[in-house]
Copies of this chain bind each other. A is one copy, B any other.
């Protein structure tokens, strides 16, 4: 489980400066590591603590965290991105039920099978930080 201090070290190691916005952002992700956070929810949180923070700063910081593989971006539906804290490595795929909206983390087993198939069949390697699958979970199916 990754801690706030460790993450600040990751930033510094990548020549990224530790600003107030980034501290709050990381803390927010850590405190909610079990679930993915919607963009509005992140915005509200930050604007609460740093009144007047600019939209573009939020976008740019989330983009940066993505680049450093600290968070993953998911598209839950057409509008609305979510951000998932990568709190353990290696990262996983995500599976979203189109009916109930539940976001599940793909099992390691699944991740490995997909990666292996990608490499064996298509000669693609170390392809993804994550892939998001949309489907219907067993509870939302009648069959």
Contact = CB atoms under 8 A, between A and B. Distances in A.
A14 interface: no
Contact of A134 (B95, B123, B127): B127
A58 to B, nearest CB: 15
A143 B118 contact: no
Task: Kindly name the residue among A106, A113, A135, A137 whose own CB sees the greatest number of chain B CB atoms within 10 A.
Answer: A135
Interface in A29-70: 63
Interface residues of A, number: 31
Interface string A64-84: 000000000000001000000
B136 A109 contact: no
Contact of A122 (B104, B118, B124, B127): B104
Contacts of A122: 95, 104, 106-107, 110, 137
Given A113-B113, A118-B110, A124 B133 contact: yes
B123 A138 contact: yes
B113 A137 contact: no
